[in-house]
Structures are given as C-alpha cells and as structure tokens.
Amino acid sequence: MLQSLWENRIPVAAVVLFAVGFTTLLLHRNLFKKIIGLNIMDTAAYLFLTSLGYISGRKPPIITDGVTDASAYVNPLPAGLVLTGIVVSVSVTALMLALTVRLYERYHTLDLDKIYLMAKDEEEEKK
C-alpha cells in the first residue's frame, strides 16, 4: 500500500492538491481565498499532466545532435496542453479578480455571505 503510494507520489500529490483547491473554492467565504483555491486546483491538474508527459532519460523533442529516433524524445503534447491550460487559468483568475475588485468597491468586504446579505437589503430598499 505504502509502496504503491510512493511509486505514484506525483498523482497522489496532484489529487491531494486538487481536493484542497476544490474545497477551498467551494467552501471558503472569502473571495480571495476562493480564487487561490481555484489556482491550486488548476495547478494540481497541470502537475498531473506534466508528470504524465515526462519520461526520465528522454529529451525534449528538439533535434540538436542529429538523433531522429522518436524513442529518444518525450511527447510534446502534454506540455502544450499545460501551456494552454495556464493561459486559460490566468484569464479566468484575472476575471475573478476584476469581479472581486468591483464587489469590494461597492460593499467594502470580501466575505461573500455578508455581500449577499447587503445586496439583498439594497434590493429590498429599492422596492
């Protein structure tokens, strides 16, 4: 059991990180912590994907010494996927931060529950 955990330490770490990020995103009331949770969650998936793409002893697929045998190189696709994923998560984070700024300017708190109550009161007053 322990041995298999150790052999699969990177996927295990990725799953643990994913769980940490997921619960933070879902359960934390503070908006900033939610965003941090989101980033941890994404990073976990990238860690997993990167570890899949790495085979020890092989090189990145850039031919410098004339070796054209494919078995000397790793598949570049997982790294490409991770790059794409990073771009996606950067833009999503930026959007979430923009929303957070807007909410903070209006309600002067980052606690989502408090903001919800204030927004509800605001609407009741209008009616």
Partner 1 sequence: MSFAANLPLFSVVGCLLASAVSAVLRAKPAAWVTRILAALVAAASVPVLLLGLKTGTAVTYTMGHFPAPWGNELRFGILEPLVSGIFALVLLACVVGGDRELKRDIEPAKQNLYFVMVDLVLAALLALLYTNDLFTGYVFIEICTIAACGILMIRQLGRTTLAAVRYMIFSLIGSGLFMLGIVFLYSLTGHLLMPNLKTAVAALWASGESRTPLLTAMCLITLGLCIKSGLFPFHFWMPDTYGYSTPCSAGILSGLVTKGYIFLLIKIIRCVFGVEVFYASGIQSVLYVLGVAGMVVGSISAIRVNDVFRMIAFSSAAQIGYIFMGVGLSPELGTAAALFHILTHAITKPALFLSASRLSEASGGRKRFKALQGAAHRNPTAGAAFAVGCLSMIGVPLTMGFIAKYLFAFAAFRENRLLVPTLLALAISTVLNTFYFARTLIRVYNTRGVTPVPPVRLRTQPGYAFAAILLTAENVVCGILAQPLIEMLTKGLSVL
Q: Which part of the chain contacts partner 1 (CB under 8 A), choosing from 2-10, 54-62, 64-72, 95-103?
A: 95-103
Region of 1-9, 54-62, 63-71, 94-102 interacting with partner 1 (CB under 8 A): 94-102
Other CB atoms within a 10 A radius of the CB of residue 13 amount to 14
> Is residue 25 part of the contact set for partner 1 (CB under 8 A)?
yes
Max Cα-Cα span within the chain: 75
C-alpha–C-alpha distance, residues 106 and 28, integer Å: 20
For residue 76, CA distances in Å to 73, 82, 95, 121 come to 9, 10, 29, 54
**How far are the Cα atoms of 7, 32, 39, 104, 117 from residue 121, in angstroms, in the given order?**
55, 24, 32, 17, 6
User: Can residue 81 be called a binding residue for partner 1 (CB under 8 A)?
Assistant: yes
Tell me how far, at minimum, the Cβ of 63 lies from partner 1, in Å: 16
Residue selected from 45, 73, 109, 111 as contacting partner 1 according to rule CB under 8 A: 45
Q: Which pair of tokens denotes residue 24?
A: 């933070």
Site residues, partner 1 (CB under 8 A) = 18, 21-22, 25-26, 31, 34, 38, 41-42, 45, 48-49, 52, 77-78, 81, 84-85, 88, 91-92, 95-96, 99-100, 102-103, 106-107, 112, 115-116, 118-120, 122-123, 127
